[in-house]
Structure 1
Amino acid sequence: MRTRRGLSYLPLSTMSSPKRHKKNSPFNSLPDDLLLSILCKLSSSATSPSDFISVLITCKRLNSLGLHSLVLSKASHKTFSVKARNWCDGAHRFLKHCADAGNIEACYTLGMIRFYCLQNRGSGASLLAKAAIHSHAPALYSLAVIQFNGSGGTKNDKDLRAGVALCARAAFLGHIDALRELGHCLQDGYGVKQNVTEGRRFLVQANARELAAVLSAATGKRPWLTWTLHPRVRPPTGSGCPLLSDYGCNVPAPEAHPASRFMAEWFSDRVGFPGPGKRLCSHSGCGRPETRKHEFRRCSVCGVVNYCSRACQALDWKFRHKAECAPVERWLDDDGEDAASDDGGAVGDGL
């Protein structure tokens, strides 16, 4: 057909319709099992939710196969690391689908969000237990913290023996915070028979694993490990094991789990949350809130900061609180003089 300007359109029979284009799509010629294998690899190696979403919106077939239970069960924890400000019913449903598909990381993340943020204690604890049954070390340690503090219940609901047992299981799997927590429990006789020598062995092992984790993650692009020669190294006078930073080894802070980052953002964006008189763990990489008043322990020196566990206190002492902590007498001194004692720093190793 010729137009007024002499140009001609292609016949309708030669124009590819959307259905014909879809039929000739290269994805349609691939078998489902091959696409599922590719999608499983993509979901397990995704570094952010956008990496996985960009695959789902490519075409309808990838969208349907991308939500297959096999693909969701292989998704990495970074695939569903949603930010607190972007939390919605859709994000909740996606996490639930991943958890129902058997994704252990999704069970842990959704369990922490439900237990602490949404205050659905029963469902959250159930998801954490589901992950712990499959030997998920962070879930085992989180359940140990819940048992130590009696979270979600009263002070009488504390079960120190159960907390030590869960902590020991997580420590056996190599969880650094669990190793440090178990070491302090053995040193102090908290929930277990006191054994100072064995406790120090666990604390040394926690330091060694912490350094090994940094060495294995080193990229060589930045100074991930530095040494600062102290003019006078003062050995700790308390019963705790010295940290690597006490000898001038500055190990960078470990990357927080997406669940911990979510909780920290969730409560920082909500004024007055988690409730009147309730506090957050002072360790910035934790994010756990109190489920009742005076649930967490305060620093025995300054009384300003509070922690959900000894492991959080040890990390916060190393990265921040060591430079800020001062005995209570300093704040009560009328002359404003520093009344800190020589052994004030050692208190950071134990609650």
Structure 2
Amino acid sequence: MGTFNYTFQLMQASGKTVTSSHDAASYMDLVHRYNDAIGLMKINRLHEAEILLRDVLNRQSHAGFDELAIALTQNELGRVLRHLGALDEALELLTKALEVRDRADEAAGSCIALRDGNLTRNEIAKVYEAMGDCTKALAIREPGKRICSNEACEAFDYLDGELLACSRCKCVFYCGKTCQRHDWKTRHKLLCQEVKMEKMLVWEWDQQV
């Protein structure tokens, strides 16, 4: 989903105040380990990335990182675990991250589609897709908070109403046909399932009451 400077993002997210050379060394060690993990994710060395991210997450609170930096690590570890099939733990981590990131977005007045909370929300939806629960995947991708689900999407922003829904499952969205085709080949084809109309009507009714 675009390209980000994850090292800068992690440092920017943290409210850590470095008070000694030892603190500074510990702090930078975690930042570098996190960045190494992101690099491993990009070349699909997911088990190695998992080990690094777990270590970073376990040490962050003691090193003085704030909840936003911790939520960023939870989000990335959740992504890795989703790819590895550890869906229950991925869902737990991503749910924790979503609460923090949504709150931070609201406090900052962020209104772009690709805000942090929506990135995590889409990851949760992908976990539900992998669990075979398209109804929950659609529910978490609520109107106004949807983003393109192609991980290789290079768009920086778009309007929610411009997104295209998968014509079969109707629970996943894309900014255009190119992204839809790419995600179909690399991820969604194995997960897509036709949603029974009865389930869709029940879900729509629940949203109205």
Please indicate the TM-score interval, normalised by the length of the shorter structure.
0.3 to 0.5
Of structures 1 and 2, the one with the larger relative CO (CA 8 A, separation 6+) is: 2
TM-score by length of 2: 0.39
Structure number with greater Rg is: 1
More helix by percentage: 2
Q: TM-score, normalised by structure 1?
A: 0.26
